[in-house]
Structure 1
Amino acid sequence: MSQTGYPASWEADVVLRDGGAAHLRPIRPEDADAVQAFHEAQSEESVYLRFFAPLRKIPQRELEHFTNVDYRDRVAFVVTVGGRIIGIGRYDRTGEDTAEVAFNVSDAHQGRGLGSVLLEHLAAAARERGMREFSAEVLPQNSAMLGVFVQAGYEVARRFDDGVVDVRFDLDPTEKSRAVMAAREHRAESLSVRGLLHPRSVVVIGASRNPKSTGNLILKNLVDADFDGDLWVVHPEADTVLGVPAYRSTADLPGPADIAVIAVPADSVIDVVRQCAEASVKGVVVVSSGFAETGSEGLARQRELVRTARANGMRVVGPNSFGLLNADPDVRLNASLAPFLPPTGDFGLFSQSGALGIAVLASAARRGLGVSSFVSAGNRADLSGNDMMQYWEEDPGTRAVGLYLESIGNPRKFSRIARRLASTKPVVVVKSDITGSELPPGHSVRTSRSPREALDQMLHQAGVIRAGTIHRLFDVAGVLTAQPLPAGNRVGVVGNSAALATLVVQAGSARGLDMSADAVSLHPEASADEFSGALAEVFGRGDIDSVVVTFTPSIGASETEVAAALARTAATSGKTTVACFLGVHGVTEALSATIETDGTERTLAVPGYPSPEDAVWALAAVTNYSDWRRADHGSLVVPSGIDSRRAARLVAEWLDTADGDVVLDSARVAELLGCYGIDILGSSVVDTVDDAVRAADHLGWPVALKAVESRLRHRLDLGGVVLNVDDATELRSDFAHLQRAIADIAGDTGHTASVEVQAMAPTGVACVVRTGEDPLFGPLVSFGLAGDATELLGDVAYRVAPLTDVDVAELVRNVKASPRLFGRHGLPPVDIGALEDLIARVSVLADDLPAVKSLDINPVVVSTSGVHLLGADVTVSPGSDRNDAPRRRLA
């Protein structure tokens, strides 16, 4: 049996069902004693269910067999917390592509989802080793293990034989199994964040009696917020600090702390985290700086911090964090450097930048926006915006969320989570550069090969509202938290300034709003009654979904009177409303009204803006989001005739003997694409003109001649392509012209260059379809029309796979040159259905095969009756490690 090296890439930190963290890794020979100790600690029932016999001690020979595996035909994983094994899972190959699987979970840790985590990682490893089916023999009374298989979402076949249940299931992920994994991931990560934001006890470590120290400031903020829980301090000498009981160490605390806020020098943090682990602390907030933001030594310290915390079941906020807070009146947690606890509201905030933490909260307070919870991730070594979105989706106190992001470690996962969250709660993102090319100190992410437009379109695909600045973030938050979503894009305008009304109409039209309803412009000295009448008229119209109200102070109605009338009218109308009142900015009492609905009183506010442009920008952003939320986003594409298992086997064979990337030849390209029902137009590469004639005879006239030389490939404008060659005489002449063009480019006239002869495709529109495993985004699919003009101007559309049918349709229609596909200047439209089918197949290939580093189909000629692929280049890579892999793991 061949031995495979220890697969370090299979190691993973995971979040369990209850929100706690654990470490999963392949088993090693030196685990023998720990495996024996794990076994001996199990109950008699657990041992019997696993081994079908009362085996109190594993015999030495069996123990060596269990812990010495080849990581190919025999694979085993252990899950550890604090270095102790709490779960073991393994498979043993039983046939060419089948294996038997088994689990054993510690009695003390059952119910935490260890079985499902082990199954996910074993299945992924087995697929990587070419297996397609798992089997297991389970005693009928072992309902927990049977439940692991059934609840995983696989199609399970069961057969009862000789007192044992024989279970079998295919390992290929299904839509149901993917959904199950995502749901489990969501629940676990949501609970891990909830544990941090709803602690029953907090300990501050590093709170000296110096009022200017960071720890003292955080403790003061916790005290001033009147935290509703136990609050303790670890101090080497004091009995109290700021009136809070102090203890000499975490071991002396009167009970386990849910979170520890750590504000000690960086070189002491890891020792403090170890002490927290011994004291059963559940999570740590590290405000200390001196980690990855300081260079390589700090980065190593940061990685050790995360490893230590996760290995002991803890999540980490930070390091270099501003802290976190929860404004819920039943919690009142301010474990941050913010000198105040914001008013309770329903806007959740996440910031990676510690320096911007105070600015973000202060801006929210100035706008009158209440906050549900706030987290500053600092260097984002562990807890991320993805985790926060998982939590906010379940948090009933959060209506909308805002994220200030300096980097995204896993955009594919971000897109998946944000898309699900945005379907029920708006997600607003302020980004700096998060493609990996310009990272802030302390942030480490993969660098994307794709342009920034790819990120913009990925966020659009996920339904995220983009805000360029924090100012814009709170502009749109005012509408999202205080107003209903617009039912459509029809906007009415009312005010006492014709000039301001014109600005509103122009700004709205520029942002795609329907401003066709006549603006109601009162004279500047209009009375309060006149204004109220105009408001009633506009809000009462059935052809208006939103209203922009402007008011300029005059000798007529007072601002107070108009504001009160507007607040009342807007609150009862159900229409989305924004206002431009001089000196009114944000959500204010002046523009608020209390109404009764179904016996319940609620207060609605009209957000105010200093300029018409700000008001219209916010309204347009919310309207676009509302349109996205109402839209049908389709279902995942599932083209027929796909053999993804054969494709994976082929790629594995091609990479098996390679040291690095493999550029596939034309035969292998055709074989790989054929697994996905994609055919390349027949061609032949030749070196002589006689061979070219014979190839044309075989392919059928007319043919095209194409230079193989990379600088002339696809370049009709430079003489690298000759079309519609009808016979041998014409071919010989064109072959000579092509050789001269190649020689001019290459600067070498001493030999004949290779030429590709290809059957002519019907007339159509030339397009380019590309995909590949982007290091940051994962499987990215792009589409554009062929030619320098398109590519130089960036007229390319991007989507992250897997794609829905709606994603595919948008990909085709989102390029500015797309009218050429749908009939222009009297030309017939091309076969859009065939083009979309091709893109769907490419997207499935990209999602299935992370090893496909790049696939470039260029050109794709789309005619009135099909698509014709004239060429494709494929490179596969052995080094792919997709961030959002089909098994749960923390970054």
Structure 2
Amino acid sequence: MTGTKEAPVHALLGDGTTVRIRQAGSADREEMLRLYQEMSPENLRLRFFSTNPASAGKAADRVAAGERPGYRALAAEYAGHLVGLAEYEVLPPGSTAEISVAVADGWHRRGVATLLLEHLADAARTAGVTAFSADALAENHDVLKVFHDLGLRVTSHFDGPEVHCTVELTEDNTYLNAVEIRGRVADVVSLQPLLRPRAVVVIGAGRKPGSVGRAILRNIRTSSYTGLVYAVHPEAAAVAGVHAYSSVADLPQVPDLAVIAIPAAYVDGVAEECGKAGVRALLVVSAGLNTQQAAGLMGSCRRHGMRLVGPNCLGLANTEDRVRLDATFAARHPGPGTAGVAVQSGGVGIALLDGLARLGIGASSFVSLGDKYDVSGNDMLQWWESDGHTDLALLHLESFGNPRAFSRTARRVARAMPILTVDAGRSEAGRRAAASHTAAAATPTMTRQALFTQAGITATRTIGELLDTAALLHAQPLAAGTKVVVVSNAGGAGVLAADACTDAGLVVPALSADLVDELLGLLPDGATATNPVDVTAAVGEKQLQACVSLLARHGAVNAVLVALVPTAVAAATGEDLVRALTSAPEPLPRPVVAVLPAQAARVELLPAADESTVPAYSDAEDAARALAHTAARADWLSRLPSSVPDSPSVETGRARDLAAAYLDGNPKGGWLDPQATAALLACYGIPQIPWAWARDEDEAVDAAERLAGPDGRVVMKAYWPGLLHKSEQHALHLDLHNASQIRAAHRDLVTRFGDRMTGVVIQPLAERGTELFAGVVQDEVFGPLVVFGLGGTATELLADHAARLAPLTELDAHDLLTSPHCSPLLFGYAGRPAADLGALEQLLHRLSRMASDLPQLADVDLNPVLAGAHGITTLDARVRLVPRHAHDPYLRRLR
């Protein structure tokens, strides 16, 4: 059992230090001896159970023997020196491995051993190891704590002065939560020098006005930054009133953050200079780095443990009172506030900052991620979660480095604060691959929307819509449902507002007779209260306030939308109808939004007497969409987080063997034949209609006699490698009754397809039922995606599909069943019998499990899946495998 040699990676320790994790081998003997020789006698005794110097030599020799079956050693490096080692050796019969771990003196309690064991466990799982065993002295509390704090199941057996520990390597939710907590702590600590620096240096601030570096330096100075600021210039004594030094090495103290705004050709060299000086974070606004320059920049950051924002970005800002840093070249300082903003586009960033400032929401921190070499949206979510100043997260991400890790973080953070994003790139043409219905259905837009939906992220279509929704989320309670009452002083405006609500997916219900009577008792003669509520142009301020207050407190209402147009009546009487919405003495329990067509701004927050604000929109459609987003968030929050259920009777080992055997014979991958497809689906208990393989006409007749149902009818399907859409190529015959029809059908297929056809599949004619489609596609970036929807020959034409990222939780599977437009057919639409929903959910979970178990699974296409009251069955299935290694998206590592 030999593990594959993995490329070195960098990861963060608990104190934010960056170390390099790599495979140890023959070249490490001297470094291993040095590590042991520098240990105290007490630590040597705890490591080797004795102080015999020969033990260190034997341990170094074991590592120096290099890679071999059943052995793996991983080293942690800092500044070119080993600071830790973890190794395992497989014990017979091969499912358990004995481990040992050593950490250099001076590096204890910083997370070195834990990080190494996480990576060692990942390598062991890939090699088929299911448990670690380790012996330690009972007094070695540190190493025993490391084992028990991993988040894995540990059993301990005491034998005199020693303890024998067994660590099971099952990667369940408890373990992932433990890894997540460790990663979050390390990440936030590593971002402190970037977002709360005590000193900043700007490199590239020119003497002439107009340079980017000079603009950043000016913004830092005029933002009342609380730390020290320096400039580096090779010739000038001062830049923009800041004393300048010729190099970073000449600075009177080492800054936490260096801002680099110089030509691309010099960036990597300056980054290395910063790293050697001890700078802990870089903000690179320079653009146009080529591959070599980019590699040099990242190499310096990783070698010296510097976090990096950029390159090719607008900058960053932190408005906290203790920081007040504006290291951007934006024209205006960000307004202080409570919204965290992270964008890849500088232009989008400026638009969001300006919009938040105008609304009075402001920003807690802002990061322009640019080309996103290092710091990402995932990092910023974790920062906002813990900074104590942010209650609203706004993202504009054009790409995802690790979508599954991002999704897991976002699910957690979205429970504490709303996360809003602009769903950029929707116009990109979907992958209309002819390879399978699954690949055709799984467009990039669908994939992103699956991520956003599962993670509880509010995805808007435009920046304006994002700000509309942010204003409502900031100002009002959530709409705990979709029932909206429209109130208007002009009938036409009320009708348009009701239409806008319906278009946004909201409901404008008729009001109960009691509520109608109560409303009419408050309103002037001529008013109607059927919803929309027409209060008429004669309504007074106090009447309108009483009407809105009654509705916002009524249990049958989730939100109130008030559309007001200026009238001569109100002007003549001096009534201020807008004030009726802002003068309530205490907060209302349900959201109230105003639509003011005469308002110049798209959205404003109107100050209210209760110290809250009321969002006012110039267009009812904007207000309705914002309400729909808040209702969707309330619905997501109302659901308790669900888990990924176990799939009983799954043969994962056999499935992996089948996949490996196929790829051994087909190194480039391909579509499985019917026999291999059926065998793989059987490993996961996916129900299939009985079938038989026939190579010629006589075998087809014999198969039909065995498989024909009570009515004697069968189906014949041609097969050859590469045939995917049988209906389109007329490669099947339905409703065959007898031997003569079967022979005629077989001759027809042979005549038309000739030697291409390697055989036929015979199946009994299926009973009636709802034809559905289910499948899996492996996205190169997002991982496996489970797709479900209407099946049959029109599946791509109607495009009635939903998708979720695997692994599916119980809620994910339920959402997949209810999201497509065809879902009423499953619940007994128009008198039809309801489908077996439990069987459908099991099918989706089993597909999800298959996709999670087999990274080689590129496509699964089950179409149609016949669903009826008494179960489901797959009538046609295709599976494609490609060579691909498992990749743990949750393993702690930097880009």
Same fold (TM over 0.5): yes
CA contact (8 A) 1:201 1:259 kept: yes
Deviation at 1:314, TM superposition (A): 1.6
User: What residue is the counterpart of 1:627 in the other structure?
Assistant: 635
Q: Kindly provide the amino acid, as one letter, of the partner of residue 86 in structure 1.
A: V
Percent of residue pairs bearing the same amino acid type? 35
2:502 to 498, 509, 534: 509
1:288 to 286, 289, 295: 286
User: What residue is the counterpart of 2:515 in the other structure?
Assistant: none
CA contact (8 A) 2:468 2:603 kept: no
- Which whole-Å CA distance do the structure 1 matches of 2:757 and 2:855 have between them? 38
Q: Kindly provide the amino acid, as one letter, of the partner of residue 473 in structure 1.
A: L
Q: Does 1:708 align with 2:722?
A: no
CA contact (8 A) 1:739 1:753 kept: no
User: What residue is the counterpart of 2:30 in the other structure?
Assistant: 33
Q: Does 1:343 align with 2:343?
A: no
- Which whole-Å CA distance do the structure 1 matches of 2:757 and 2:468 have between them? 65
User: What residue is the counterpart of 1:462 in the other structure?
Assistant: 455
CA contact (8 A) 1:720 1:742 kept: no
CA contact (8 A) 1:287 1:320 kept: yes
Q: Kindly provide the amino acid, as one letter, of the partner of residue 861 in structure 1.
A: L
- Which whole-Å CA distance do the structure 1 matches of 2:855 and 2:465 have between them? 37
Q: Kindly provide the amino acid, as one letter, of the partner of residue 132 in structure 2.
A: F
2:118 to 103, 117, 120: 120
Distance 1:584 1:484, change over 3 A: farther
Q: Does 1:200 align with 2:198?
A: yes
User: What residue is the counterpart of 2:592 in the other structure?
Assistant: 577
Distance 1:131 1:664, change over 3 A: farther
Q: Tell me the alpha carbon deviations over residues 785-813 of structure 1, each in whole angstroms, 9 at most, x when there is no partner.
A: 32232222211211101111121122122
- Which whole-Å CA distance do the structure 2 matches of 1:200 and 1:766 have between them? 64
Distance 1:772 1:522, change over 3 A: closer
Q: Does 1:166 align with 2:164?
A: yes
Deviation at 1:310, TM superposition (A): 2.0
Distance 1:247 1:419, change over 3 A: same
Structure 1, 838-847 or 814-823: larger mean CA deviation:
814-823
- For structure 1, list consecutive stretches of 5 or more residues without a partner in the other structure: 292-297, 440-446, 596-602
User: What residue is the counterpart of 2:403 in the other structure?
Assistant: 411
Q: Kindly provide the amino acid, as one letter, of the partner of residue 634 in structure 2.
A: S
RMSD: 3.0
CA contact (8 A) 1:286 1:318 kept: yes
1:592 to 586, 600, 607: 607
Q: Tell me the alpha carbon deviations over residues 504-557 of structure 1, each in whole angstroms, 9 at most, x when there is no partner.
A: 111112222222242333443644444444444444444323222233334444
Structure 1, 457-466 or 517-526: larger mean CA deviation:
517-526
Structure 1, 127-136 or 80-89: larger mean CA deviation:
80-89
User: What residue is the counterpart of 1:598 in the other structure?
Assistant: none
Q: Does 1:51 align with 2:48?
A: yes
User: What residue is the counterpart of 1:444 in the other structure?
Assistant: none
Distance 1:244 1:143, change over 3 A: farther
Distance 1:616 1:26, change over 3 A: same
CA contact (8 A) 1:89 1:122 kept: yes
CA contact (8 A) 1:525 1:554 kept: no
Q: Secondary structure at the match of 2:838?
A: helix
Q: Secondary structure at the match of 2:164?
A: strand
Deviation at 1:55, TM superposition (A): 5.5
CA contact (8 A) 2:33 2:60 kept: yes
What are the equivalent positions in structure 2 for 1:657-696 lying under 5 Å apart?
659-661=667-669, 663-696=671-704
- Which whole-Å CA distance do the structure 1 matches of 2:184 and 2:483 have between them? 37
Q: Does 1:453 align with 2:455?
A: no
Q: Secondary structure at the match of 2:748?
A: helix
CA contact (8 A) 2:701 2:742 kept: no
- Which whole-Å CA distance do the structure 2 matches of 1:525 and 1:886 have between them? 62
User: What residue is the counterpart of 1:485 in the other structure?
Assistant: 478
CA contact (8 A) 1:437 1:448 kept: no
Q: Secondary structure at the match of 2:492?
A: helix
Q: Tell me the alpha carbon deviations over residues 592-648 of structure 1, each in whole angstroms, 9 at most, x when there is no partner.
A: 1353xxxxxxx3111222222222221222222222221345332212222434434
Q: Kindly provide the amino acid, as one letter, of the partner of residue 565 in structure 1.
A: A
User: What residue is the counterpart of 1:547 in the other structure?
Assistant: 560
What are the equivalent positions in structure 2 for 1:50-129 lying under 5 Å apart?
50-54=47-51, 62-70=59-67, 72-95=69-92, 96-129=94-127
- Which whole-Å CA distance do the structure 2 matches of 1:528 and 1:351 have between them? 43
Q: Does 1:277 align with 2:270?
A: no
CA contact (8 A) 1:704 1:757 kept: yes
Distance 1:668 1:219, change over 3 A: same
Distance 1:586 1:114, change over 3 A: farther
Q: Tell me the alpha carbon deviations over residues 16-68 of structure 1, each in whole angstroms, 9 at most, x when there is no partner.
A: 22333332121243233333333333333333322223356876665343134
- Which whole-Å CA distance do the structure 1 matches of 2:309 and 2:72 have between them? 34
- Which whole-Å CA distance do the structure 1 matches of 2:586 and 2:333 have between them? 28
- Which whole-Å CA distance do the structure 1 matches of 2:39 and 2:730 have between them? 76
Structure 1, 245-254 or 861-870: larger mean CA deviation:
245-254
- Which whole-Å CA distance do the structure 2 matches of 1:97 and 1:199 have between them? 48
User: What residue is the counterpart of 1:736 in the other structure?
Assistant: 744
What are the equivalent positions in structure 2 for 1:379-458 lying under 5 Å apart?
379-433=371-425, 450-451=442-443, 452-458=445-451
Q: Tell me the alpha carbon deviations over residues 561-585 of structure 1, each in whole angstroms, 9 at most, x when there is no partner.
A: 4444322328521321222233363
Structure 1, 844-853 or 218-227: larger mean CA deviation:
844-853
CA contact (8 A) 1:392 1:401 kept: yes
**Alignment length, in residue pairs?**
860
Distance 1:154 1:653, change over 3 A: farther
- Which whole-Å CA distance do the structure 2 matches of 1:816 and 1:873 have between them? 25
Structure 1, 507-516 or 217-226: larger mean CA deviation:
507-516
Structure 1, 677-686 or 413-422: larger mean CA deviation:
677-686
CA contact (8 A) 1:22 1:312 kept: no
Q: Kindly provide the amino acid, as one letter, of the partner of residue 88 in structure 2.
A: Y
- Which whole-Å CA distance do the structure 2 matches of 1:418 and 1:435 have between them? 25
User: What residue is the counterpart of 2:212 in the other structure?
Assistant: 214
Distance 1:822 1:718, change over 3 A: farther
* TM-score computed with the length of structure 2 as normaliser: 0.89
Deviation at 1:652, TM superposition (A): 4.2
User: What residue is the counterpart of 2:517 in the other structure?
Assistant: none
Q: Tell me the alpha carbon deviations over residues 200-233 of structure 1, each in whole angstroms, 9 at most, x when there is no partner.
A: 2222222233332222211111111111122222
CA contact (8 A) 2:308 2:374 kept: yes
- Which whole-Å CA distance do the structure 2 matches of 1:370 and 1:863 have between them? 54
- For structure 2, list consecutive stretches of 5 or more residues without a partner in the other structure: 432-438, 512-530
- Which whole-Å CA distance do the structure 1 matches of 2:793 and 2:384 have between them? 45
Distance 1:193 1:568, change over 3 A: farther
User: What residue is the counterpart of 2:351 in the other structure?
Assistant: 359
Q: Does 1:614 align with 2:630?
A: no
Distance 1:717 1:541, change over 3 A: same
Distance 1:14 1:367, change over 3 A: same
Q: Kindly provide the amino acid, as one letter, of the partner of residue 336 in structure 2.
A: T
Q: Secondary structure at the match of 1:638?
A: coil
Distance 1:5 1:808, change over 3 A: closer
User: What residue is the counterpart of 1:889 in the other structure?
Assistant: 893
Deviation at 1:834, TM superposition (A): 1.1
Q: Kindly provide the amino acid, as one letter, of the partner of residue 507 in structure 1.
A: A
